[in-house]
Structure 1
Amino acid sequence: MIAADLTTTFVDTRTPAALSAAEAAVSRRSVRAYRDVPVTDDEVRRLLELTGRAPSAHNLQPWRFVVVREQQQKNQLSAAAFNQKQVASAPVVIAMYADMEDTLASLHEVVHPGLPPEKRDATIEGLRTRFGRMTLEARGQWANAQANIALGYLLLIARSEGLDTSPMLGFDPEAVKAQLGVPAHATITALIALGRGAEDGFVSHRHTVDRVASFR
């Protein structure tokens, strides 16, 4: 059992204007037009730091991000994303991808440093053995499922912080990888346009709880 003093505490530094998780969930929409207002590096770093709090099996955190601001690169990404206008027009585009091979090569970074050395070594060896039995493709699928959990966090946190997003799955993944230097074995989870909306976006339409859940 890990001692209590190994637990780290996250300090909540939200501004008073920040939305609650419930408010962000209800009000978030996909926004495809953005105001010409910069998103600062500090805002992006805070967003990615909070996104990194997403649950991750074995704490492996296989998600990675490329933050794109430069207009020429955004234009090229837009072409790779079938000319979706928000890619070229948003202040920031984040390419989110899953890289299980990088994760396995750096397990010492994700196994808790407070564990006794013998426990750390055993945990690392166990993870290498488990995932080493899987094919490259299966590892990639597993990592991408984990990255999608973090994607949900990113979208919700962005809204709570006063930022709008448009997550996209419509793109040529090989073109995106080539442009951004993402490893060939990685999986592009999503492209996310990020900024402050110049439109409200579509009003969301969702199933009721009774349609999707049963209580037993």
Structure 2
Amino acid sequence: MGFADPVGPATHARQVIEPDEQLLWAAFGPEFAYDIEGLDALGEPQHIPLTQGLETMGRSGPATPPELTGPADESGPPSRGPDVVVFGDGPGCHAHNGVRHLDPRGGTRSRTWALTSTRLLVLDTRPTRRQHAGDSPTSFLRRTLGLGKELVDIVTDRTKRYGEHVEGVPVAAKPMAVYGTFAKSTITEIAVARRRTQWRTRPCLRVSFVDGSGLDLLLGVDDESVFEWMVALSRGDR
């Protein structure tokens, strides 16, 4: 980890866990998508033609629909696809209910998926509003003078910077809030699995719920050993 690296997901997650709660693992996952019959990739209702439904029968396991990864780009490699895939037999399943109020592609880069000893959480930064001064001549002059001072400070500043971090200033994690939660009691299994995408089959961490629905965490990772390590952490192994 370098000085310029952002604050990690575990540091973000520790802001919201309870004193008697143990954090097992945490990972960034800004975007998720749906693989639920009757819904499109963004969770909107869709009508699947009968012929298409017949074509998907007998598949070996949950597969990412083509629209999740986006079209091929002739000028570069294909999109890596979503960080997490929410799957289930239909709308209203446990996995769907836990995130249906969230925008699949509306998360910030800090959107975090975290497992604790009691629950699975979806976290993100709290929305903030920037306060603007009034547009009176006095406030305009004050802002102008302030801008001039900032420019002088930038020119004369010799402070070392490492990405978003500044020498001598404590690194602060962005304030996080819980936007989704699944009780640990509703999770039946956490295991390494494989998910077929438009381009290839990839390893993932599969979180299965009591009704057969679940979450496949791809996280942009193709190293299966990473997910095996997360499975061990899920059991509390250190």
TM-score (norm 2): 0.24
TM-score (norm 1): 0.26
Larger radius of gyration: 2
Higher RCO, 1 vs 2 (CA within 8 Å, ≥6 residues apart) = 1
More helix by share: 1
More strand by share: 2
